[in-house]
């Protein structure tokens, strides 16, 4: 039943967001893992459309915030206002009080405002003037940033990047996909007629089922070996943390569920290693100047780390 539901979601979103099946899979991994997703790509490739379509297909609340240098933390979390009628202060929730939050161009606002999302992303709550407010469930932050235009931007610090389960790229469509985009969006807005195929309660149930996906000891050791290799690679100044190990573990469980399995295989881990670990690594300056990137280093680690052999027993815990 879970696989059928997820297939319905993918089919619904794919009718509007053309040719981004792998990106959609990774976004669903983030949602099912109770994580958050950072999309780094140029404007106009469908980042906002993807977030809006996913929210509409799930009948989830959706809010978009355009991050700018003058944006304040209270513009995200909310604030208290004095009610003259009642003679008391009342809380006005900010856009973070939603199910899917699109933080558009998150690197264009100051670090103080960026950090206002940290508590929400990690603790699923916000604290305003000493009072704590729980966030709606499910809760997904989908942040975007432009890797080309860097003037007037504030790069996300490592603590903020580490809160994102995945960092992914949309990429350009093929010629055939671009023609389908013209035919689909050229005359009307297909999103206006989209009918939801699931609800927020369904998402919470899917998240719970993903936590029950089996990860056998050899696969767990494979995850530990990959993350450990990032800590001793000569080109890496700062390797992945234990939070990264847990992120890769949970993401692999969600990927297995997307494939209709109740157990994780090494290929799930290999498929997710770069989007889960790449943004958490700091390369040495001299190696970056030589043209090395986190992706190329992770490719080398994946090629040199022993992969566990599938012995055909998927019952072990």
Instruction: Quote the CA–CA distance of 72 and 89 in Å, as a whole number.
Output: 20
Predicted local confidence at residue 315, as pLDDT: 46
Q: What is the pLDDT of residue 310?
A: 63
pLDDT of residue 82: 83
Q: What is the mean pLDDT of each run of 10 residues along the chain (317 residues)?
A: 80 92 94 94 88 93 93 92 81 93 92 88 90 94 84 81 92 92 88 89 94 96 96 93 95 95 96 96 90 92 89 47
Q: List Cβ neighbours of 197 (8 Å cut-off, separation of 6 or more).
A: 5, 8, 9, 12, 57, 58
C-alpha count within 13 angstroms, C-beta hemisphere, residue 240: 30
Which pLDDT score, from 0 to 100, does residue 311 have?
A: 52
Q: What is the pLDDT of residue 104?
A: 93
Q: Which of 239, 254, 227 is nearest to 37 (CA)?
A: 254
Domains of the chain: 2-184 (3.40.50.300), 212-304 (1.10.8.80)
| pLDDT number for residue 192 | 84
Report the candidate in 249, 240, 260, 243 with the shortest Cα–Cα distance to residue 217: 249
| pLDDT, position 316 | 43
């Amino acid at each position: 039943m879970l696989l059928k539901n997820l297939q319905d979601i993918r089919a619904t979103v794919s009718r509007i967001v053309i040719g981004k099946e792998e990106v959609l899979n990774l976004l669903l991994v983030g949602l099912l893992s109770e994580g958050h997703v950072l999309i780094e790509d140029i404007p106009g490739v469908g980042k906002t459309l993807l977030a809006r379509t996913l929210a509409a297909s799930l009948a989830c609340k959706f809010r978009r915030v355009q991050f700018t240098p003058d944006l304040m933390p209270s513009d995200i979390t909310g604030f208290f206002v004095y009610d003259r009628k009642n003679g008391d202060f009342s809380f006005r929730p900010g856009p973070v009080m939603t199910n899917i939050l699109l933080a558009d161009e998150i690197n264009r606002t100051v670090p103080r405002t960026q950090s206002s999302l940290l508590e929400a992303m990690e603790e699923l709550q916000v604290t305003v003037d000493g009072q704590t407010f729980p966030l709606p469930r499910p809760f997904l932050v989908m942040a975007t940033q432009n890797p080309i235009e860097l003037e007037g931007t504030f790069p996300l610090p490592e603590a903020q990047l580490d809160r994102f389960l995945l960092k992914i790229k949309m990429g350009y469509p093929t010629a055939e996909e671009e023609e389908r985009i013209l035919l689909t969006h050229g005359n009307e807005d297909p999103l206006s007629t989209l009918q939801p195929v699931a609800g927020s309660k369904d998402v919470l149930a899917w998240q719970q089922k993903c936590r029950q996906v089996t990860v056998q000891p050899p696969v767990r050791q494979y995850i530990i070996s990959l993350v450990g290799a990032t800590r001793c690679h000569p080109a890496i100044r700062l390797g992945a943390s234990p939070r990264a190990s847990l992120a890769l573990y949970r993401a692999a469980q969600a990927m297995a569920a997307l494939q209709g399995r109740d157990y994780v295989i090494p290929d799930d881990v290999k498929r997710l290693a770069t989007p889960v670990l790449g943004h958490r690594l700091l390369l040495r300056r001299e190696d970056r100047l030589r043209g090395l990137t986190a992706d190329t280093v992770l490719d080398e680690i994946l090629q040199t780390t022993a992969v566990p052999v599938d012995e055909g027993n998927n019952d072990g815990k």
